[in-house]
């Protein structure tokens, strides 16, 4: 009788999750259920807490999922030191450049729909970028080829940021206040008059490329970037706290942001006086989003499940496969000898416990990080709020997570696996985590 009840519940869960607009929560499991060690994974909590105790960061949120199930989700330290407010699992943080993968996914949705081509010149969709030339000491020269949409996604466009260097082109960016542009339209109008830093396709150079891509999304879709992201990505994936600003009802969940100082951490952006409390006119697809660990893990699970989360398909499976493979031209590299896909860094060399081949991910200026290892069926989100960017949290957490993997993935038990409900022949009872999720939503 118990088995029949569990099977009935399993069918109910599957039907419920299949309903449009009902995404459900990512189920949880003990680490051992997905081939990880509880004892080893527990070291993440103590390691991050030591960073808090040593004053390296004010607080953090760490989240680990394997085989589609959350096995670690911890909040550490304080989100505001002055008011002694603790970090919670749902604390909202500034994601900065972790916005880039989301904006790239938005563009690739248009690619899936046949509305843009990756190797088409950017000027086809953003005419303000027509006639770009390349900087030369005497006078700008004609580029060997035009900047393409693919160049924007992999940072080989020849554009720059204007804030990380002091080259002649960077100086022009500063003078024209590219980063401080009123909106995306005014930004591309100014960029159309500035020479490129390098010949397109010849160098990987971090830049405003993804902000241009956001403008391209607006022009091709006919919708403002915030509207497109909300309707096409955030709602389908139930990323309920991801946006370009924090509404008044959620201000008390926003973390303050800090910078290191001689006497300890100094407030860089206070939670209740942050610029993120006001909707911006400049919708930066390259660095403007706030989010939570929960929301971004849902985005990661969509990617690791090849474009689908609980039946909500965002991208074609083959599109995700293309995005997460190295797309850089021959002899062009990122991070030493590693590669870059469409919106993500891609690990092409084995780094042992620090990185596995095929791993992809990115970080944000406030020291936020995520990485996905397809061969391990693993996704990790590690968030702090410290500027300028520091890799200390990722460097502390990553080896511990990889060392916690103690066996290869086994046949999936009942639950969501690769975007589908699965029941292994050996599983006699419904997965308790999914059953609990069902109970929560029907109470």
Per-residue pLDDT tens for 130-155? 999 999 999 999 999 999 999 999 99
169-211: pLDDT as tens digits: 999 999 999 999 999 999 999 999 999 999 999 999 999 999 9
DSSP codes joined into one string, 345-359: EE--S--GGG--TT-
- The whole-number pLDDT of residue 88 equals 98
The mean pLDDT value for 387-405 works out to: 97
- The whole-number pLDDT of residue 335 equals 80
Q: What is the spatial distance between Cα 244 and Cα 246, in angstroms, rounded to a whole number?
A: 7
The mean pLDDT value for 82-103 works out to: 98
Domain 34-95+227-410 is found in CATH 3.40.190.80: no
Of residues 18 and 197, more confidence is placed in 197
- The whole-number pLDDT of residue 152 equals 98
Share of the chain above pLDDT 70, in %: 87
Q: What is the spatial distance between Cα 204 and Cα 206, in angstroms, rounded to a whole number?
A: 7
Is the pLDDT confidence value at 430 over 80? no
Cα→Cα distances 73→29, 90, 297, 383, 433, Å: 11, 11, 11, 11, 15
22-75: pLDDT as tens digits: 458 999 999 999 999 999 999 999 999 999 999 999 999 999 999 999 999 999
Is the pLDDT confidence value at 373 over 70? yes
Strand partners, 373: 378
Q: What is the spatial distance between Cα 403 and Cα 399, in angstroms, rounded to a whole number?
A: 6
- The whole-number pLDDT of residue 126 equals 98
Is the pLDDT confidence value at 435 over 70? no
Same CATH fold, 102-224 and 34-95+227-410? yes
Q: Which tokens in the block code for residue 403?
A: 């060392």
Is the pLDDT confidence value at 166 over 60? yes
Instruction: Give the closest residue to 256 by CA, choosing from 240, 242, 276.
Output: 276
258-280: pLDDT as tens digits: 999 888 999 999 999 999 999 99
The secondary structure of 135-173, three-state, reads CCCCCCECCCCCCEHHHHHHCCCCCCCCCCCCCHHHHHH
Is the pLDDT confidence value at 332 over 90? yes
DSSP run (H or E) holding 375: none
CATH number, span 102-224: 3.40.710.10
Of residues 271 and 437, more confidence is placed in 271
- The whole-number pLDDT of residue 162 equals 93
- The counts of H helices and E strands in the chain are 12, 16
DSSP codes joined into one string, 204-237: ----THHHHHHHHHHHHHSS-HHHHHIIIIITTT
Q: What is the spatial distance between Cα 382 and Cα 393, in angstroms, rounded to a whole number?
A: 7
Q: Where are the domains of the chain?
A: 1-33+411-443, 34-95+227-410, 102-224
Give the CA count within 13 Å in the CB-facing half-sphere of 137. Answer: 0
What is the average pLDDT value for the chain, to the nearest integer?
89
295-316: pLDDT as tens digits: 999 999 999 999 999 999 999 9
Contacts 24+ apart (CB under 8 A), 230-233: 232/106, 232/109, 232/314, 233/102, 233/105, 233/106, 233/109, 233/299, 233/314
- The whole-number pLDDT of residue 13 equals 47
Reading phi first (left if > 0) and then psi (alpha if -120 to 50, else beta), residue 356 is in: beta
Contact 78, 84 (CB under 8 A): yes
Contact 151, 122 (CB under 8 A): yes
- The whole-number pLDDT of residue 337 equals 80
């Amino acid at each position: 009788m118990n088995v029949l009840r569990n099977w009935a519940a399993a069918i109910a869960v599957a039907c419920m999750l299949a309903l449009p607009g009902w995404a459900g929560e990512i189920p949880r499991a003990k680490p051992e259920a997905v081939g990880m060690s509880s004892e080893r994974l527990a070291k993440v909590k103590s390691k991050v807490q030591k960073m808090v105790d040593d004053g390296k960061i004010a607080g953090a949120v760490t989240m680990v999922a394997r085989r589609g199930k959350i096995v670690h989700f911890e909040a550490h330290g304080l989100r505001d030191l002055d008011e002694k407010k603790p970090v919670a699992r749902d604390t909202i943080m500034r994601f900065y450049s972790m916005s880039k993968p989301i904006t790239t996914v938005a563009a690739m949705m248009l690619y899936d729909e046949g509305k843009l081509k990756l190797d088409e010149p950017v000027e086809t969709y953003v005419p303000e970028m027509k006639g770009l030339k390349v900087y030369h000491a005497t006078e700008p020269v004609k580029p060997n080829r035009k900047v393409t949409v693919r160049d924007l996604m992999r940072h080989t466009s020849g554009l720059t940021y204007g804030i990380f260097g002091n080259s002649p082109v960077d100086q022009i960016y500063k003078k024209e206040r590219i980063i401080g542009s009123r909106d995306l339209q005014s930004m591309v109008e100014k960029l159309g008059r500035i020479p490129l830093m390098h010949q397109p396709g010849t160098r990987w150079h971090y830049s405003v490329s993804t902000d241009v891509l956001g403008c391209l999304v607006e022009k091709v879709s006919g919708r403002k970037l915030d509207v497109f992201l909300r309707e096409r990505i955030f709602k389908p994936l139930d990323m309920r706290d991801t946006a370009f600003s924090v509404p008044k009802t959620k201000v008390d969940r926003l973390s303050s942001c800090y910078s290191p100082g001689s006497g300890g951490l100094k407030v860089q952006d206070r939670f209740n006086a942050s610029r993120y409390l006001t909707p911006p006119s400049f919708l930066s697809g390259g660095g403007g989003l706030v989010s939570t660990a929960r929301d971004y893990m849902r985005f990661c699970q969509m990617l690791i499940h090849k474009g689908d989360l609980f039946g909500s398909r965002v991208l074609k499976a083959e599109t995700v496969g293309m995005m997460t493979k190295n797309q850089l031209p021959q002899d062009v590299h990122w991070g030493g000898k590693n590669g870059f896909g469409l919106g993500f860094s891609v690990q092409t060399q084995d780094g042992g416990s620090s990185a596995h081949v095929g791993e992809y991910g990115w970080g944000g200026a406030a020291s936020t990080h995520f990485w996905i290892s397809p061969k391990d069926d693993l996704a990790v989100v590690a968030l702090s709020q410290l500027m300028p960017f520091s890799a200390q949290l990722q460097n502390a957490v990553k080896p511990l997570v990889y060392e916690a993997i103690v066996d290869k993935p086994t046949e999936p038990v009942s639950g969501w696996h690769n975007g589908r409900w699965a029941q292994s022949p050996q599983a006699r009872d419904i997965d308790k985590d999914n059953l609990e999720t069902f109970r929560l939503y029907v109470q």
